Structure 1
Amino acid sequence: MRELSRLLRLRHPIVQAPMAGGITTPELVAEVSRAGALGSIGAAYLAPPQIEALCAAVRARTTAPFAVNLFAPGAPEPSSPELAAGVAPVLDAFRAELGLPRGEDPPAVNGLFEAQLEAVLRCRPAVFSFTFGLLAPKHLRALRAASIVVIGTATTVEEAALLEEAGVDAISAQGAEAGAHRGTFAGAFEDALVGTMALVPQVVARVRVPVLAAGGIMDGRGVAAALALGAAGAQLGTAFLGCPEAGISPAYRAALRSDAARRTVVTRAFTGRPGRAIRNRFTDAFEGRTPPPFPEQHRRTLDLRAAAARQGRTDLMLLWAGQGAPLVREMPARELVETLAREMRERWETRETRPGGAG
């Protein structure tokens, strides 16, 4: 815990997960960091000028450290016209419901990571985090030369070992309970659906760098449990969706308050890459279907997802959420961080004063 705090200059061993797609607004990131935790910008879908503008907006609100997150570059998964043709009728039927024209083949976007990373290096945040794979040695050297702390994402012990060997400063161990994209990059994602309680102590036992526990952590009890498992801190994403600063729609917020939040599913439906979201008609429509891989399916569904969000159609919206979603609390980000820290301290104090406790 002390090592993580030293690395990241934190008062609390809490990291707000970097949720891409507009969720991590400058207000959310800045308020989390101002409270003594680590706010994170999910910048994976942003062009370099947008990354620089967001970093500037955060710095206009706080001098505290924050993180920027990108998707690690990698060779695209093989696709085929047959995969696109297989899902086109489903997508076009939903488009018709939303008043959209039939879909067209999306343009490919190549080489974006290099330009994004250059923007990050110009911004020089305190922390750079990444998911979906490993960074090239030249990328790590550039980040290290800029004195930026680097955090990689692992969903298995084997991935954690690869990240440590590559030279990251810390590892986010993503349990199966976590919302949004799975970070799996070595092996089948089905084999990497390991719960946080099982994954974290195994990763801690394998690597020497600090480990963050991610997945299913919603309150101070969860943070304390992560520390008890040997983690240096906890990374929370879904817990911050209830903050007014989070960039989600009223319909998304309503879904998190509903019984639907109790039913999440790991699906490729929206982007072509496995991720955990609230189950709805869209995810059900892709049961038994193989969509084109990421990022092709992501581009093919962009118009549909945007229209569904505008119309408040939660049956067709992408509603990333972890299995702890029913525990979301509606409170400002700064208050949530302070509440998490207080609950964590209370849990540790209770533990230490019990018979047989550390005290």
Structure 2
Amino acid sequence: MDCKDEDIDTCDPNIPEEGPSAPPPGWLDNVTGYEEHKGGECTDQICPPPPDFVPQPESEKNAFVPNVILPTVSEDAARDALLQFVGKKWNYSSKPAKNLIFKDMKPFTVYRYRLETYTESRSSTWESEPHTGQSVDGPQNGAIPPPWHVQVSYPPNFTDVVQKVRVPHSSFVKPCFRCNGNGRVRCTHCRGKGMIHCMFCLASGHNRNRRCTNCHGRGRKRCVPCHGKGYKICVTCNGHRNLVHFIQVTVSWRNQVFEFIPDRVPEFPLKKFEKVSGETFFRDENPLVYPVDGFPDQDICEASKRTIRSHLLAFSSVSRILQQRQTIELVPLTHVFYAYNGKDYNYFVFGRENKVHTTNYPSSCSIL
């Protein structure tokens, strides 16, 4: 912009135009262990774990599961479960549940297999903050540790947590790239003039042969974004002129969960099992677990073998596997058959909570 324009009130030629919102290429140093950061790229760099952080399975081992006893539901418990279910449905009468006649109760063996793989992943990015006189932990204080050697506080296993840590000795101070170390940038709205043309009178000072009341006849108005100063405080350095650049490591702990239930009862929707718990009779927890072997339900054995292998392949290349846990639950499921007013009906009681699923309760209204 030419600051000799006759319209200019407060234009200062020393105030620079606003620069880029991110550091330009070459602005940041290359640091050993963080070489993938190119210039001003701000996206996170995924840091794969070093080989000695990657666990190795022992394929010849297997986990053995004990035998279990099939749980049963009494008639009283089945009736109470149905009454509780009906009590939550405003359009259902409790009369059929109170007066039904049980004909048969058929329990099913339902196993739920769950594999939890607890992983730690790390990514890094360059960050910055205004330099306000705070101490700067730079390379003069020691070598910059690689991403996986940055010390962090570990959370309890199998909990999802994200932690951001400033890498020790990675900080340095440079003039702000956005304002060129000035602390202020030229207002883009008024181009540094502090005044803008009045749009009501098209800068003429008159509107319909009368003095413009919006600009009081001057044809110009004070620029609102910069309050007539012609400049704004740099939003990157907040007016402090210098920035502290540093590498930040983001550590993410994630519990990767897989669940599997063999579909043995076509009439019962498997999705219902997501809302209930079962009786855990097998639990195996180690840095790496081994596939289940010798279990009566071969689908569970196959799911264990397949999922353990897929978790190892999927997560070990981009994260560190800290711990694995596999469990098998016996989820109660009983198909109840009963009669009411000479007609046959049925429902399912499932889970330790004795939840109910039915599609033909004696009612003129369908289930919600």
TM (norm. structure 1) is 0.19
The higher relative CO (CA closer than 8 Å, separation ≥ 6) is in 2
Q: Is the radius of gyration larger for structure 1 or structure 2?
A: 2
Higher helix share: 1
